[in-house]
Amino acid sequence: MIRLNVFISVEGVNHTKVLEAAKELTAFSVKEDGCIAYDVYESATRPNVLLICETWKDSEALAAHEKTTHFVKNIVVLQNFAEIKLEKFEF
């Protein structure tokens, strides 16, 4: 399995836009084959920080996810309007 923790730092006026993109990405991703878990969280202590926590069955499922229309569409929003830090764990 593969776990990704995607930390998203977003400021001010872009917060709503980025959060909506993360929510849309989550709504579609949980329905994909090989998706074990996928959710977006807002920090209780740092209002400008979001976290997408996702777990995939294997690297093939993750690679397929990264080619989906909803991923391509929403990752552009995240990359253009926020700072992203990715942690990847395989177990």
For residue 29, the model assigns a pLDDT of 98
The residue count for the chain: 91
What total number of domains does the chain contain? 1
CATH code, 10 = 3.30.70.100
Mean pLDDT by 10 residues, the chain (91 residues): 98 95 98 98 96 98 98 98 98 93
CA atoms within 13 A on the CB side of 65: 27
- Entry pTM: 0.94
Dig out the tokens for 46 from the structure.
């740092």
- Distance between CA 90 and CA 56 in Å, rounded? 10
For residue 61, count other CB atoms closer than 10 A to its CB.
18
Question: What are the tens digits of pLDDT across the range 23-42?
Answer: 999 999 999 999 999 999 99
- Distance between CA 77 and CA 61 in Å, rounded? 22
Range of the domain at 49: 2-90
